């Protein structure tokens, strides 16, 4: 996927028209259209504004990763002690076997939690 396709998808996900996005960025609708159609690419400042607006990383916008989580999301407190970043760092430090065990246990806890709700 190209930057323009990603931008279009994010905009539509939010239910925005090109006009609304252009107004937020203080750009013309034609400029947004050019970005989305791959005629031009956003400059670095605009790319950062887009990432902030859609709460994704610039790497996501540039299709360098499929992980959308912004720095704000990664720093989100999941509990009193842990952020999302803490959890990911811990998992990434594990070997493949441990990761499989972590996922099995997490899925078990998720199903147990789901059963309590129902």
If the chain, 118 residues long, is cut into consecutive pieces of 10 residues, what is the mean pLDDT of each piece?
93 96 96 96 96 92 87 85 91 94 94 78
CATH code of the domain containing 64: 1.10.260.40
User: How many domains would you assign to the chain?
Assistant: 2
- Supply the pLDDT for residue 56: 92
Shared-domain flag, residues 61 and 79:
no
- Supply the pLDDT for residue 118: 60
Shared-domain flag, residues 16 and 62:
yes
Among the candidates 49, 69, 89, a domain finishes at: 69
Shared-domain flag, residues 62 and 80:
no
Q: Which domain holds residue 21?
A: 3-69
Return d(Cα 20, Cα 76) in angstroms, integer: 28
- Supply the pLDDT for residue 68: 83
Whether the model clears a pTM of 0.85, i.e. scores above it, the answer is no
- Backbone angles phi and psi of 101, in degrees to 5: -65, -40
Shared-domain flag, residues 79 and 32:
no
């Amino acid at each position: 996927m190209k930057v323009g396709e990603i931008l279009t998808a994010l905009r539509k996900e939010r239910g925005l028209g090109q006009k609304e996005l252009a107004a937020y960025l203080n750009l013309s609708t034609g400029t947004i259209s050019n970005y989305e159609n791959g005629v031009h690419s956003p400059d670095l400042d605009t790319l950062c504004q887009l990432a902030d607006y859609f709460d994704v990383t610039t790497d996501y916008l540039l299709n360098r990763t499929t992980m959308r989580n912004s720095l704000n999301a990664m720093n989100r407190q999941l509990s009193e002690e842990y952020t999302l970043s803490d959890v990911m760092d811990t998992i990434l430090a594990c070997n493949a076997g441990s990761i499989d065990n972590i996922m099995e246990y997490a899925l078990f806890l998720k199903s147990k939690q789901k059963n309590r709700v129902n």
